[in-house]
Copies of this chain bind each other. A is one copy, B any other.
Amino acid sequence: MDNLDRIFHSLADGTRRAIIAQLASGPARVGDLAQHHDMALPSFLKHMRVLESSDIIVSRKVGRVRMCELRPNALVVAQNWLERERRIWEDRLDRLDFLVETLAKKETPDGTE
């Protein structure tokens, strides 16, 4: 699977977006994160693994506890893709506007608008 595939797929789920939001305010333990989600721990851990596989979060084990942290770089990659496409679209609209304007001036070359 493509890298962007994994990133966007991670984001396409409310539970995972909530985890990201939780981690945006600072690192946390798996258990603390899980408390806010109404599902069995193994199900929750699957979401964590999805987020890790797309490098949106990292985690390391400290004793029997696992600490998790956001790595916003993956989010930036996603933003960049969106920004690029949006810009192509908008530049095109700008050129269209310019074209329309130019044509309008040609139709009224005396400048009476």
A residues at B contact (CB < 8 Å): 2, 4-9, 11-14, 17, 20-21, 24-26, 70, 72, 75-76, 78-79, 81-83, 85-86, 88-90, 92
Q: Look across to chain B and name the residue whose beta carbon is closest to the beta carbon of A85.
A: B24
Of the candidates B5, B70, B72, B89, the one whose C-beta lies within 8 Å of that of A70 is: B89
- CB pair A76–B86 under 8 Å, yes or no, is yes
- CB pair A8–B5 under 8 Å, yes or no, is no
Measured CB to CB, the closest approach of chain B to A22, in angstroms, equals 10
For this complex, 9 residue pairs linking A to B, each with C-beta atoms less than 8 Å apart, are A9-B9, A9-B12, A12-B12, A21-B85, A24-B85, A24-B86, A26-B92, A72-B86, A72-B89
